[in-house]
Structure 1
């Protein structure tokens, strides 16, 4: 790992940029590195001004070029047992430990240094850096930046999202829809429970329907064998309800998600769940007219499905000097938003392993950082190449 990369990564880890908290100090630090390197900087602020996206460009302000996309936020460390302070970078052999080393400040550190290097080169196509906030809670922050960029006349040729893939080329990931089912029953003293309608029981019936839908999808639905779990998944993560043991609860909430492969429409699954809700409530309609189960959408982002024969795959494979087959990843990214919002091809490729992310003693291996740095050096080389216009025109015009 280059000393400059280590210093940048150490600083990035030191910023406690938990999702929904401020990332402004981190962005100030990044600007302090990139502006002297000749980068032009724009920020896209959250409505309350507490955090922002950053868009930086080195090279000419023209069509084409590459976007390096990463997020600045990390998941909390609360209740996790770490060997050392998660916000102080720690070396142990060939591993570097700290919150966000794998997901995904390791990539961001390499991307920042690459921007600084590119600023010293005579680029013929631009290199962009997109840093977003609140990615870990549904890719929320990046949307405003993409919407603004979509209204501009210039377009990058393609986007590389640097989430950890072990520096393998990932052409796709599932979409995600986060939802909440609000169950309304009727309260009573628990001694009179048969005269009431227990909202937890409604919630339990709803959970059973989710399990039935999941079983049907797994057995009979469309599959994409490029994924470890090759079908759309339905998962319930949180259930809330009840105030005291001697009160029949009148309200219950269940937070659940749908992670869909590209062949499945989460909207169709929701229509089916609406039918399940009616079936659950039907036996209670005569006695409890106000009983209900309402489903609200909390957040969503689209999946990514870049064709394997896309010119961007060929180009990035050559730059990585790899003949390994492409993969699809289980976790979500902002890649689908960039693909749909800017109508450009997108790949996911970054250092580290997501198996290390979100865990105590998260780490990234030095060899992965070095491989990413060498890859981005070659990206800069083609941005400076006299053939860059032909290369990027081919990528941009290729199948998406």
Structure 2
């Protein structure tokens, strides 16, 4: 079985599926592999046809069953100091190296390696495979696939997201809302600054307000998460053209990593009210064309599944661990859960290696993942 996982992982790593690139070559390779084992696949393309989700079902038709879900895109290697080729498998010291080996082509390789065994075993419930695109840029691609599942009369009941958790079952993570704020001021020569509206200065007032709002968020706590409260930060800012020109434009990007029970829109609404009541009137006394605009960039919901549920107890048994946890990073799990499919997260490798140079997954972790899939197969057997 290890040889099968290694062979498939080497093939998956050879595709550069950085989110800015197409994933079709990899998706078509997976579709062909599944077809070789008698499994049909359905593709859900993006608007320009350059990327696709893949959805396939093994076993009997009908509702219920389990989804094994993972994303096919990876983060860039630009600017990272790799000592090994990123888009090839290198085996060394009990590890497989390559971009996406941990996040999360290692899990995909295990799932695909287990397909022949699932096909050979009569199943009493369907097993669904859901492989997505553009997870790394805001869980964007999977939404068409989730919408299809939600509308289906044969909706699955359970979902395992195979993000790297060192095969530790995970029941929760925070959600994320990313926004861009664009400030339009009024330029003039810096010798006459009172005649202008400094876009950078007003953006700084908004950022200061965000600090206050972030302090408010920290008052609501949930000890199951680390940090145990919703967080807010400004990640990028740009503006101005020359030191002797009052800047006309400034923009900054912010994100809220929020607890599952928090609505981040309340924070954005508070920032809008501050802009409209405190800042814009002063700006427009100089120039009525001044403005502050907010643009959504991406959003995905948090996940909070009952760790005492029957599904959780089953997954714990399949993993050989009865200890559940939360993770700091986001997944597509909240979207499946919102669609009515009970979702947990468990997969090989660690996010400590994800997104870094010389990313790797331990072979022992892949072995444990294959053992989990074998237990799942036994539970689903007719």
Shorter chain as normaliser: what TM range?
over 0.9
Q: Paired residue for 2:228, among 227, 230, 237? A: 230
Q: Once the two structures are superposed, what CA deviation does each residue of 1:194-248 show, in whole Å capped at 9, x if it has no partner?
A: 3211111111111111111112221x2x211111111111121111212233322
Matches within 5 A, 1:231-246: 231-246=229-244
Preserved CA contact (<8 Å) 2:196 2:286: no
SS at 2:21's partner residue? coil
State the Cα deviation string for residues 56-93 of structure 1 (Å, max 9, x = none): 11111122211000000001111111111111111220
**Structure 2 residue aligned with 1:284:** 283
Contact preservation (8 Å) 1:5, 1:109: yes
Normalised by the length of structure 2, the TM-score is 0.96
Q: CA deviation at 1:25?
A: 0.7
Partner residue in 2 for 1:348: 345
C-alpha RMSD of matched pairs (Å) = 1.4
Spell out, residue by residue over 1:182-201, the C-alpha distance to the aligned partner (whole angstroms, 9 max, x if none).
Answer: 11111112333332111111
The answer for the alignment partner of 2:365 in structure 1 is: 368
2:211 paired with 1:208: no
Equivalence for 1:320: 319
TM-score (norm 1): 0.92
Q: Secondary structure at the match of 2:64?
A: coil
Distance of 1:53 and 1:84 partners within structure 2: 29
1:92-130 Cα shifts (integer Å, max 9, x gaps): 202221110111111111011122321111112111110
Stretches of structure 1 lacking an aligned partner (at least 5 in a row): 386-400
Residues 102 and 357 in structure 1, CA contact (< 8 A), matched pair in contact too: yes
SS in 2 for 1:187: coil
SS in 2 for 1:171: strand
Deviation per residue, 1:354-389 (Å, 9 max, x gap): 12111111111111111111001110111114xxxx
Query: The residue matched to 1:247 in structure 2 has which SS?
Result: coil
Q: Once the 2 structures are TM-superposed, how far is the Cα of residue 14 of structure 1 from its aligned partner? A: 0.7
Match of 2:354 in 1: 357
**8 Å contact 1:37–1:120 — kept in the other structure?**
no
CA-to-partner distance for each residue in 1:232-285, whole Å, 9 max, x for gaps? 111211112122333221011111111110221111111111122232344434
Larger CA deviation: 287-296 vs 252-261: 287-296
Residues 58, 119 of structure 2: 8 Å contact kept: yes
Quote the offset at 1:302 in angstroms. Answer: 1.1
Q: Tell me if structure 2 keeps the 8 A contact 1:115–1:127.
A: no
Residue aligned with 2:286, SS: coil
3-state SS of the aligned residue for 1:99?
coil
Residues 1-400 of structure 1 correspond to what in structure 2 (within 5 A)? 2-218=2-218, 220=219, 222-278=220-276, 279-324=278-323, 326-341=324-339, 343-385=340-382
Partners of 1:117 and 1:236 in 2: CA distance: 48
Distance (whole Å) between structure 2 residues aligned to residue 284 and residue 30 of structure 1: 56
* Equivalent position of 1:393 in the other structure: none
Secondary structure of the residue aligned to 1:240 is strand
**Is the 1:115–1:129 Cα contact (8 Å) retained in structure 2?**
no
- In the alignment, the residues of structure 1 paired with residue 3 and residue 203 of structure 2 have an alpha-carbon distance, to the nearest angstrom, of 54
Please, which runs of 5 or more residues in structure 2 have no aligned partner? none
Separation of aligned partners in 2, 1:334 and 1:254? 26
